[in-house]
Amino acid sequence: MTNEAILLGLAGVLVTAAPMIFAVIGETISERAGVINLSMNGTILLTAMGGFAVCVQTGSLLWGFLAGMLIGAFVALIVAFGSITLKQNQVAIGFVLALVCRDLAYFIGNPYMGLEGQRLPGLDIPILSDIPVIGPLFFSHDLMTYLSYLIIPLAWVWIYRTRPGLMLQGIGEKPAAAFVRGANVNRLRYFYTVLGGAIIGLAGPIYSLSVKAGWKGTISGLDGLGWIALAITIFGGWNPIRAAFGVYLFAFLQWLGLVLQPSLPGVPSQVLQVAPFPLMIMALLLVNIGNTEWVARTLAMLPVPLRHFFVRLLRALRASPPGALGTPFDSE
């Protein structure tokens, strides 16, 4: 491979990762507030279809993206209403919505299948795009890719460096304590779940109006992406920067799979496409195993220098979910 081709491939990785970045950041924000939005796989499909259909109808890309955000926010609102107001199981509601939204996307999207649609135009950033290597790699993509760079530090700063962000951590970690300090826990949870849903809702239109432009029903190749995004959220340890790293790593591995395929003729392309999954399971295992009891017990039996090494290693990898993730809050 020439350097040129590698550069082009890596630039492609950044573009294809953009929708996933929005999905993972949106889910991270929602889960930080204590609400799992398991509907993501369906939401991405429905917003991809909806964004594309609205764009075809109105002729406006902006309306397409806004429609995606609205649909994502609405689905999240159902999750919030079911789990916060009605105290039903979050996982159950989200899972059902994942299936309903997927089938709705295929059903409603049927007449839009294969239609010619608009595509988000490229937008080279002046001056920056002229820098050799860095320019073509980072700064000659489209608007949504640039926004995907921006939302990562933005979410990080919001969660870790601002007052409302501190409150966000509180309602997900120790809602009772946050309540005592004057937070309206359930209203804030509604807000962040819907906000997260709106951000997730951008992922679909980015696919259907840019990365994989068009709507092709079941062969759009979008089914399953939401489940991957959920796994990456966990891998990211509910930290936007670590989550974004997971997204880029995943996109990079999929690209690598495509690149390596010609040199591995016996392996069908479908296998290489899913190659990141076993790695993902391994990653989840590494992230979580430090939390289990038997590991703690085994570590206690090791000689001291070895124990210190492993404890430090596991602690560096470990990620614990927000303390109140998935549990309803009652102020009574």
Partner 1 sequence: MTRQRWITLAFQFGALVLALGFTTLILLATETDPWQAYKYIIIGSIGSLRKFSDVLVSFIPLLLVSSGLLVTFSAGLWNIGVEGQITLGAIATTWVLRLLQGSSLPPGVIIALAILAGMLGGAAWACLAGALKTYGGVNEIFGGLGLNFVATALTLWLIFGPWKRPGIGSMSGTEPFPDSLWMPMIPGLRLSPWALGIGVLFIILIYFLMKGTHFGLRIKAVGKNIKAAYLHGVPTTRYLMLAFLLGGGLAGLTGAIQVTAVYHRLIPSISSGYGFLGLLVAMLVNYQALWVAPVAMFFAALNIGSIQLPIVLKLDSTLSGVLQGVLVLFVMLMDGIRQKITKRWGGGS
Q: How many CB atoms lie within 10 A of CB 247?
A: 28
84 vs 188, beta carbon nearer partner 1? 84
Comparing CA positions, the residue from 180, 173, 241 lying closest to residue 21 is 241
Using rule CB under 8 A, residue 46 touches partner 1: no
**Residue that the structure tokens 């700063």 belong to:** 157
Burial 142-178 (b: 16+ CB within 10 A, else e): bbbbeebbebbeebbebbeeeeebebbbbbbbebeeb
**Shortest Å, Cβ 266 to partner 1:** 7
Q: What share of the chain is helix, strand, coil (3-state, %, to 5)?
A: 75, 0, 25
Q: Is 179 in the site for partner 1 (CB under 8 A)?
A: no
Number of residues that bind partner 1 (CB under 8 A): 52
The least CB distance from residue 271 to partner 1, in Å, is 5
Site membership for partner 1, residue 180 (CB under 8 A): no
Provide the token pair at 189: 């949870």
Tell me how far apart the alpha carbons of residues 268 and 271 are, in angstroms, rounded to a whole number: 6
User: Cβ contacts of residue 185 below 8 Å, gap of 6+?
Assistant: 171, 175, 178, 179, 329, 331
- 331 counts as binding partner 1 under rule CB under 8 A: no
By CB under 8 A, tell whether 92 contacts partner 1: yes
Minimal distance, residue 257 CB to partner 1, in Å: 11
Q: For residue 150, give every residue at least 6 positions away whose Cβ sits within 8 Å of its Cβ, in sequence order, or none.
A: none
Q: Is 106 in the site for partner 1 (CB under 8 A)?
A: yes
Residue 53 as a binder of partner 1 (CB under 8 A): the answer is no
Give the shortest CB-319-to-partner 1 separation in angstroms: 11
Binding marks (x or -) toward partner 1, 274..293, rule CB under 8 A?
xx-xx-xx--xx--xxxxx-
Those residues with Cβ within 8 angstroms of residue 83's Cβ, 6 or more apart along the chain or in another chain: 35, 89, 90, 93, 328
* Angle of CA points 114, 115, 117, to nearest 5°: 125
| Residue 319 in the binding site for partner 1 (CB under 8 A) | no
**Residue from 146, 227, 245, 310 binding partner 1 (CB under 8 A):** 227
SS3 assignment for 73-117 = HHHHHHHHHHHHHCCCCHHHHHHHHHHHHHHHHHHHHHHHCCCCC
Shortest Å distance, C-beta 248 to partner 1: 19
6 lies in the binding site for partner 1 (CB under 8 A):
no
Binders in 147-176 for partner 1, by CB under 8 A: none
58 binding partner 1? (CB under 8 A): no
Nearest to partner 1 of 110, 162 (CB atom)? 110
**DSSP assignment of 18-30:** HHHHHHHHHHHHH
Least distance CB 87 / partner 1 (angstroms): 6
Region binding partner 1 by CB under 8 A among candidate stretches 20-28, 166-174, 182-190, 265-273: 265-273
Residues that bind partner 1 (CB under 8 A): 38, 78, 81-82, 85-89, 91-93, 95-97, 99-100, 102-104, 106-111, 217, 224, 227, 230-231, 234, 266-268, 270-271, 273-275, 277-278, 280-281, 284-285, 288-292, 294
